[in-house]
């Protein structure tokens, strides 16, 4: 068993106040806890890994490359195929929190590499 405490997990901010923390980083799966600042929108992006985005707190809108939208609240999740363009938007005037799961592993420095 491997335990990673959120308080001591490797973290960085791809943009101001958008915090990402690595809770699992294994070859077959990675899991990232994230805090999205008020009204923050990630850039439209894609990656070869499949992704599940789980909302823990707040409200987020997900948009795919075809323009399809879904609004998620706490406990809701969305699945993205590998290579599917998508964007995640915090709908609130306060931070929203979620978890991204990637299979196989997505490099934790994905957002650093995009700059």
pTM equals 0.94
Q: Catalogue all structural domains in the chain, each as residue range(s) with its CATH number.
A: 17-108 (2.60.120.10)
**Residue 115 binned pLDDT confidence (cut-offs 50, 70, 90):** low
Average confidence (pLDDT) over 53-66? 97
83-109: average pLDDT: 97
Give just the sign of the alpha carbon dihedral 114, 81, 56, 91: positive
What pLDDT does 114 receive? 81
Q: Taking all residues of the chain, what is their mean pLDDT, rounded to a whole number?
A: 96
Cα–Cα distance, 69 to 88 (Å, whole number): 10
Tens of pLDDT along 98-114? Answer: 999 999 999 999 998 88
What's the confidence (pLDDT) of residue 7? 97
Interval 19-36 mean pLDDT? 98
């Amino acid at each position: 068993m491997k335990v990673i405490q959120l308080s001591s997990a490797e973290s960085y901010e791809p943009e101001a106040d958008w915090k990402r923390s690595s809770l699992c980083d294994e070859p077959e799966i990675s899991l990232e806890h994230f805090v999205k600042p008020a009204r923050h929108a990630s850039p439209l992006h894609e990656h070869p890994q499949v992704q599940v985005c789980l909302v823990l707190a707040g409200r987020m809108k997900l948009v795919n490359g075809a323009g399809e939208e879904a609004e998620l609240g706490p406990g809701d999740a969305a699945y993205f195929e590998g290579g599917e363009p998508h964007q995640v938007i915090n709908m609130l005037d306060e931070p929203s929190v979620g978890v991204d799961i990637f299979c196989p592993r997505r490099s934790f420095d994905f957002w650093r590499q995009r700059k």
